Amino acid sequence: MTLDRLLLTGGTVVDGGGERRLDVRIADGVIVEIGVALDADPALERVLDAQGCIVGPGFVDLHTHLREPGMTEAETIATGSAAAALGGYTAVVAMPNTDPTQDCVEVVEFVRNRGREVGLCDVRPSGSITIGRAGVQLTPFSELAAVGVHLFTDDGSGVQDAGLMRRALEYAGELGLLLAQHCEVAAMTHGAVMHEGDCCSHLGLPGWPALAEELMVHRDIELCRLTGSPVHLLHLSTARSVELVRAAKADGLPVTAEATPHHISLTDEALRAFDARFKVNPPLRTMADVEAVRRGLLDGAIDAVATDHAPHPAHAKERPLDEAPPGMLGLETALGVTRKVLDTNWQKLFELLSTGPARIAGLADAHGRPVEVGEPANLVVIDPDVDWEVDPGGLASLSNNTPYIGMGLRSRVRHTIFHGRAVVIDREVNR
Ligand code: DOR
């Protein structure tokens, strides 16, 4: 990878240490100087204007579906990495529901190596918990750990068998790995299209009850208590799930959780027009749930915002609601949505989008770091006060199933620095 020499001028640096008006000089992948009004040397370095901008650690997504191998009509590692970089992400954890599944060294190494070739962000493949995500036989965790996999999940579905999940936690705990659960008791959600509630009854559609999530959240918290192994709960969507995690943390259990931008910004009412862009798993819930998930993010019950970026081709999303696949794009809009709906400061936003997820993903050696001399230069530069709307035709993602058309978003990524290289400059990918 070519490493640039860069100077970010005029920005306000935000990290765990607070907010400071500082220029940042980068060389050979590392922050080499920080100070007020540093002298630029345009012959030697590229000067990037960060006037009026927030400069902080690049975002880390715990939950990205890159679709490659196997579903490259929806997304590729190249297009997904571009979407990530434009969204301010310097690292993404690639979900395992590819075809073939990320359940063996060959597939995992393919994803990681392709991510390196593309070079726009750190692509970290997850491994599946069970072979083929079939919920029957455990994946060889130690073989995948030996090639650097830290997070294991069957995302797309939950591990239904409590005995198998217990063994998986014991095994992962011994190896120092993290299991992440998609909380859904499948026996309660067969054929479900949307949240089970008033709106769903009114539309006459089959419902996905909140309890189907909460039962598995409760089960896995108790398995965590039994085994002592950490568990991460993916895309929590209900008020009761947040309460259960809050109580588990108060008990000192090693439980972490994430919430998506869509579960803090949209409700089941969006399905009234039968538009499959709003179909997602877990489904959009009620306003009371939305508010509870927001509170959870603000008070620390939930540790991270994670996108669940789930591209699907237009023809699939144009099918009738009961046939269309669930999922929404997220990488390019996560910041704009989160900033719009979460009433908090920049330090907390970086905790939720960068530092927190970097810790959970086991990436805190290179991502979510303080903006200080000697630190790896994985950074995002944000226009904080820009109001904008998504142009679905202008997305870097290969798919366009964004639910945010027509919704005003706030704050936009101007530049992204990955490994010391400006991969996004003035909202354009710099290949
Ligand atoms: O809406 C979703 N889409 N939820 C999931 O858990 C999987 C994802 C996908 O892969 O499309």
pLDDT in tens, 364-417: 999 999 999 999 999 999 999 999 999 999 999 999 999 999 999 999 999 999
349 in the same domain as 382: no
Residues 239 and 294 in one domain: yes
Residue nearest to atom 6 of ligand 1 (CA): 156
Among 136, 196, 132, 138, which residue's Cα sits nearest to residue 160?
Answer: 136
Inter-residue contact 366 to 420 (CB < 8 Å):
no
Cα–Cα distance between 426 and 406 in angstroms, integer? 23
Residue of 65, 66, 195, 317 to test ligand 1 pocket, by largest number of atoms within 8 Å of CB: 65
Helix axes 239-250, 287-299, angle to 10 degrees: 20
Residue 59 has pLDDT above 90, yes or no: yes
Do 202 and 254 sit in the same domain of this protein? yes
**Average pLDDT score over residue span 240-254:** 98
Q: What is the pLDDT of residues 309-345, one digit of tens each?
A: 999 999 999 999 999 999 999 999 999 999 999 999 9
Q: What is the pLDDT of residue 1?
A: 43
Q: What is the mean pLDDT of residues 84-104?
A: 98
CATH number, domain of 422, equals: 2.30.40.10
Asked if residue 285 and residue 195 are part of one domain, the reply reads yes
105-115 pLDDT, tens per residue? 999 999 999 99
Domain C-terminal end among 315, 334, 361: 361
Separation of CA 312 and ligand 1 centre (Å): 10
Give the range of the structural domain holding residue 380, as residue numbers without chain letter: 5-55+373-429
pTM above 0.85, yes or no: yes
Mean pLDDT on 154-177: 98
The residue assigned the tokens 């797309």 is 156
Q: What mean pLDDT do residues 283-302 have?
A: 98
Distance of CA 199 from the midpoint of ligand 1 (Å): 22
35 shares a domain with 150: no
Asked if 321 and 202 sit in the same domain, the reply is yes
User: What is the spatial distance between Cα 349 and Cα 339, in angstroms, rounded to a whole number?
Assistant: 8
Residue 38 lies in a domain: yes
Please state the domain count of the chain: 2
Whole-number pLDDT of residue 2? 47
Ligand 1 atom at minimum distance from 327 CA:
1
Q: Place 3 in a pLDDT band, splitting at 50, 70 and 90.
A: low
Ligand 1 pocket residue status of 280, Cβ below 6 Å = yes
Same domain? For 16 and 79 the reply is: no
Residues 281 and 383 reside in one and the same domain: no
**Are residue 283 and residue 378 in the same domain, yes or no?**
no
Burial of 299 (0-12, 13-18, 19+ CB in 10 A): exposed
Given the residues 39, 308, 365, 391, select the one marked as catalytic: 308
Check if 308 is active-site: yes
Q: How many CB atoms lie within 10 A of CB 161?
A: 13
